[in-house]
Copies of this chain bind each other. A is one copy, B any other.
């Protein structure tokens, strides 16, 4: 007897719950990595070496990192590749887009680490801490310029076997324009973040706008750029941008929770790191504004500078701050808001079926992988 495949039965391999997310990330990474390395190899040797260190490929002495230098998880390239496939294209058309968003992400990390005075990232010394501020500034600048170059000359196409469309090989001005606007918004987000440090009246909406600028914009561009390079129609492009941007906010909300309650061994940041810096993150801002008495107390706690005699806050003081964020409802709200944003992302992705019905198994699978990847990111609090 043959099983009857009903209309509610998913095609094989398209249940998000069954997707092996780390394997998906590894597969995308393997596609993008050669093109990313080829791009970085165009830089002058000094800048290239510092970029390679920052990307986790080498140690500070330039020797290859143990384990081949896996570096970060390359989430943004994966989004670019999966969205291209979700639009029915070969995911290799999105390789230049994946390279470009990864370069822009790392440009912003290099500059932000310097701006924030962070001496460590992912348990490693930051570029400015090792080689000085000029190195971090110039290496960041070079990665930003390189991102545009890769999109415009199409050389980020790693396959090199003629499978990518010829239009991609000639570069994509549309993708490059999208990226340049994204950087402008990214800067706006970082400017707001810097300005918040000196303010005690930050609202939840402007804090969300800042988080959108700092994180949502580039994730939205990572998904949109895949659609652009797949030559998807405008409504599909818009739906995928929404997917990425909402996912970006969910991601940032979880990141903010981890910045307070995360395990230092996992986050790579000191315990209670964001409170140590009195960062006006989303849960903190929500608690200050909507937290009643606990919120008022939190505001006073934030305004209190370190005691110069006893040095940086000890853990007890920081734990008090965390308790106030929780008592003010900031922790619960941020978790709920992250779930709402994830639901909005998935709803946008589901509209793809109206604009661009999936016609084959790989396209179905890519959509399931996007859902799974989103849930994986929004599940980091567990």
- Closest CB in chain B relative to A100 CB, distance in Å: 11
The stretch of A54-62, A174-182, A311-319 in contact with B is A174-182
Q: Are A145 and B46 in contact (CB under 8 A)?
A: no
Q: Are A137 and B138 in contact (CB under 8 A)?
A: no
Q: Pick the contact of A171 from B46, B107, B177 — CB < 8 Å?
A: B177
Q: Are B190 and A138 in contact (CB under 8 A)?
A: yes
A236 within 8 A of B: no
Quick one: closest B residue to A197, CB to CB? B134
A residues contacting the other copy or chain, number (CB 8 A): 40
Given the contacts A46-B195, A195-B46, A141 and B181 also touching, CB distance less than 8 Å: no
Q: Are A180 and B137 in contact (CB under 8 A)?
A: no
Majority SS of interface residues in chain A?
Answer: helix
Q: Report the Cα distance A184→B42, complex, angstroms.
A: 9
List of B residues within 8 angstroms of A152 by Cβ: 173, 176-177, 180
A183 within 8 A of B: yes
List of B residues within 8 angstroms of A111 by Cβ: 137-138, 141
Given the contacts A133-B133, A137-B137, A152-B180, A187 and B115 also touching, CB distance less than 8 Å: no
The proximity string for A residues 18-61 relative to B, scoring 1 for CB distances below 8 Å and 0 otherwise, is: 00000000000000000000000011101100000000000000
Q: Are A141 and B171 in contact (CB under 8 A)?
A: no
List of B residues within 8 angstroms of A190 by Cβ: 138
Q: Are B146 and A134 in contact (CB under 8 A)?
A: no
